[in-house]
Amino acid sequence: MKIGVVGPGAVGSYYGAKLWRDGHEVHFLLRSDYEVVRRRGVKIKSVEGDFHANPRAARTPEEIGVCDLVLIALKTTANDQFPKLLPPLVGPKTAVMTLQNGLGNEEVLAKLFPAEQILGGLCFVCLNRIEPGVIEHIAHGKVVMGEFAGWPEPRTHDIGWIFKHSGIPCAVADNLACAHWEKLVWNIPFNGLGVGSCAGLEAFEKLREPMAPLLRVGPCLTTDKLLADPNWERWVRGLMMEVIAAANAKGLNVDQALANEQIEKTRIMSAYKPSTLIDYERGQELELESVFLEPLRQAQAVGVKAPRLKRLCEVLKALSQV
C-alpha cells in the first residue's frame, strides 16, 4: 500500500516504521524533523528489538499525492489544519484513519470527506519521541480500529490484516464509539492526573468547594508514582469508574472490570510519562477539548454528573493558563 503518515511524532513514527519495514511505501509528512528523517530515517528503540526505517520524507502533502491509506497522528489541537494538509492525500478510494486521542476527531474529518472513507484507530501503546527521528517503545502496541459510519467493511479487515502482518497487534471493533470510551478509561486518569498532580491533592479533594487560585506546588507524577500513592490511586480508580458509567449510560456496555485490567497493565510501564504530561512540561497546548472537556459534556448529557472528571477539567484548565 501507499501510506501517508500525517504528524509522525511518537505514535505515527512507530506504526509508520513498522509498516515500512513490512514493505509498504510509507511517506512521512514532516515539519521540524524533516531534515533528520530525510538524512537518517527513523530509529525505533523497542523492548521487542531495535530497528531502523527509511520512510520517504515530505514537507508538503502535494509531494506525496493520493494514498491508499492516510494515518493521522497529529495532536488534536492541530485539527484546524486538516483542510490544508489532507485533501492532496485523499482520493475517492483512500481510507483515512485517525490515530488521535479523545472524541470528535472522526466528526471533524467527516466535514471534509465522505463518512464511509473514515476510520478510527485506538493505539494502546507506551512510547515516547526521545529526540528527532528516535522513538522509544516501552510496552504494548495494540491498535483497535473501526468504521466511523457503521459496521466494519471488508476494507477495514484488510487494513487490520496488513497491520498484523507488519507485527502490530490489531483488532477490528464492531463499535468504534465503544472503543473510544474504553481508551478514555486509561487516557483521562493517567494523562489528566499526570499533569494535575503538580497542583497537589488539595486541589482535587475539596470537590464541593470552588477552585481557589491554582499554583504548581509539586512535581508532576509519572504513572508509577500515581499508582504508588493510595490517595492518587483512589483518584485514578474513581475517574475510571466515572468514564465507565458515562459509557454505559450511552448504551456502550463497557465492563467495570476494565478499570482493574488497565491499572495492572500500567504497573509494568514503570515511570511512564503520558503524552499530555510531556506536552505540559514542554509548554505546549494541551489536548483539553477532545480528551477531557468533550467526554465531560457527553457524560453530563446522559445524566452522569462525573464530579471527579469535572474537577479534573477545572484543574487542567487552570494549570494551562498559568
Position 25 scores a pLDDT of 98
Distance CA 86, CA 70 (A): 8
Instruction: Decide if pLDDT at 171 tops 80.
Output: yes
Position 270 scores a pLDDT of 84
Of 18, 75, 183, 273, the active-site residue reads 183
pLDDT in tens, 227-242: 999 999 999 999 999 9
**DSSP secondary structure string, 193-218?**
HHHHGGG-THHHH-TTSPPPP----S
Other C-beta atoms lying within 10 Å of the C-beta of residue 115: 14
The alpha carbons of the chain give a radius of gyration, in whole angstroms, of: 19
State the cell numbers at 247: 459509557
Q: How far is CA 18 from the centre of its chain?
A: 18
Position 216 scores a pLDDT of 72
Mean pLDDT for 145-164 is 94
* Mean predicted lDDT score pLDDT of the chain: 95
Mean pLDDT for 35-47 is 97
- In this prediction, what percent of the chain has a pLDDT beyond 90? 90
Instruction: Decide if pLDDT at 7 tops 90.
Output: yes
pLDDT in tens, 275-306: 999 999 999 999 999 999 999 999 999 999 99
Instruction: Decide if pLDDT at 188 tops 70.
Output: yes
Name the CATH superfamily for 2-174.
NAD(P)-binding Rossmann-like Domain (3.40.50.720)
Position 64 scores a pLDDT of 98
Position 207 scores a pLDDT of 72
Mean pLDDT for 2-16 is 97
pLDDT in tens, 23-32: 999 999 999 8
Position 181 scores a pLDDT of 97
pLDDT band at 55 (very low <50, low <70, confident <90, very high): very high
Per domain, the residue ranges of the chain are 2-174, 179-321
State the cell numbers at 185: 478509561
Q: Directed axis angle between helix 176-196 and helix 258-267, to 10°?
A: 50
Position 213 scores a pLDDT of 66
Distance CA 11, CA 176 (A): 19
State the cell numbers at 165: 502482518
pLDDT band at 218 (very low <50, low <70, confident <90, very high): confident
Nearest of 130, 129, 70 to residue 100 by alpha carbon: 70
Mean pLDDT for 89-105 is 97
Residue corresponding to grid cell 492526573: 193
Confirm if 314 and 196 have CB atoms less than 8 A apart. no
Per the annotation, the verdict on 183 as an active-site residue is yes
Distance CA 276, CA 294 (A): 16
Instruction: Decide if pLDDT at 208 tops 70.
Output: no
Instruction: Decide if pLDDT at 214 tops 70.
Output: no
Does this chain's domain 2-174 share its CATH topology with 179-321?
A: no
Strands (E), the chain: 2-6, 25-29, 42-46, 51-53, 56-58, 69-72, 95-98, 118-131, 134-147, 170-172
Distance CA 247, CA 42 (A): 38
Confirm if 97 and 159 have CB atoms less than 8 A apart. yes
pLDDT band at 322 (very low <50, low <70, confident <90, very high): low
Position 212 scores a pLDDT of 65
Distance CA 213, CA 317 (A): 12
Instruction: Decide if pLDDT at 268 tops 70.
Output: yes
- Phi and psi of 175, rounded to 5°? -130, 105
Name the CATH superfamily for 179-321.
N-(1-d-carboxylethyl)-l-norvaline Dehydrogenase; domain 2 (1.10.1040.10)
Instruction: Decide if pLDDT at 20 tops 90.
Output: yes
pLDDT band at 150 (very low <50, low <70, confident <90, very high): confident
Confirm if 106 and 120 have CB atoms less than 8 A apart. yes
Start-to-end Cα distance in the chain:
45
Q: Which whole-number Å values give the CA distances from 68 to 9, 14, 117, 201, in the listed order?
A: 21, 19, 11, 48
